[in-house]
Amino acid sequence: MSNVTKIYFSPSGTTKQVVEQIAGNIGQDGEAYDLLNFNANKIFSSDDITIVGMPVFAGRIPKTARNRLEKLKGDNTPAIAVVNYGNAHVTDALLELVDLLKENNFNVIAAASTISHHSIFDGVAVGRPDSADIEKINEFAKKCQEKIETGESLASEIPGNRPYVDYKQLPFVVSSDETLCSFCYDCVSICPEKAIPDDDPIDTDLDLCSRCAACISICPEDARSFTGEAFETKKPAFEEANSERKEPEFYL
C-alpha cells in the first residue's frame, strides 16, 4: 500500500476525521500536516498521495487556511480535495480548493464535499458524519484508489463561481467563563489567529478571531462558547433553515 499524506485545517476535528477516513481506505499512514499550527513552505513529490481537507466558512476556505495552503507545492502530486461543511452551503469552497491545488502543481484526481456537525450552530447535522456518511466516504475512497492506480485526473466539473464569494466576518462573540476556565492555555496554543493573549486565556481579540471554534472544541472545561445577541438571534433561524439533511457529493 502507498503512503498517504494528510493535510487539513480542522478546528473542531471533523474535517480531520473525514480526511483520516479516506486515507485509511487508500494506503499506509504517512505524514500529517495540521494547518492550525503548520505554517511553512513544503514541496511534495510525484510519489506522494495527498488528501487535502478544508472546512467551509461562509462559502469559502478559511482565509488563514488558504494562506498556509498556498505555501504547500506539488510536483504533479496526486491530490484528493475535500471540503467539509455543516449541512448549510458549500458555495465556492470546493472549487476554490481544487483551483488552488492545481495552481500549486498538484494533480487533483478527485474531490468531495462532506457533511459534519456544524461547529457554530450545534443543532445542525448532529452526529454527522454518521454511518451512512462513512459508508459513502469509503466507497469514494475506493474509487480514488482506482484512479491513483490508473493515473487519471479529475474529470468532473466542480460547482461554484469565479470570482469566489467575498469573505465574511461573522459578528458573533466568542467568550470565556472565568469561573469554569482552568487556565490550561490549550486555547492559546491552538488558536491559528493568535487572538487569545498568551497571558490571559479569558480574553479574545474579536478583531483577529475568525470564529473557527478551535478554542471552543479543545476546551476541557467547556468554558468557551459563542455568545451575544447576534448569535442568539441567528441560532434558531439558522437551525430551522438548515434542518433538512444534505448528502455528501463526490466528483471523479
Domains of the chain: 2-163+245-251 (3.40.50.360), 173-227 (3.30.70.20)
Give, as one character, the DSSP assignment of residue 124.
S
Q: Which three cell numbers stand for residue 81?
A: 480535495
Q: How many CB atoms lie within 10 A of CB 191?
A: 25
pLDDT at 73 over 70: yes
SS3 127: coil
What is the phi/psi pair of residue 190, to 5°? Answer: -90, -20
Q: Return the bridge partners of 55, or none.
A: 84
Segment 31-52 shows an average pLDDT of 95
Residues 91-103 pLDDT 10s: 999 999 999 999 9
- The per-residue pLDDT for 151 is 87
**Per-residue pLDDT tens for 183-233?**
999 999 999 999 999 999 999 999 999 999 999 999 999 999 999 999 999
State the pLDDT at residue 3. Answer: 81
Cell of 88: 448549510
- Which amino acid does the sequence have at 77? T
d(CA 148, CA 110): 10
C-alpha cell at 174: 466568542
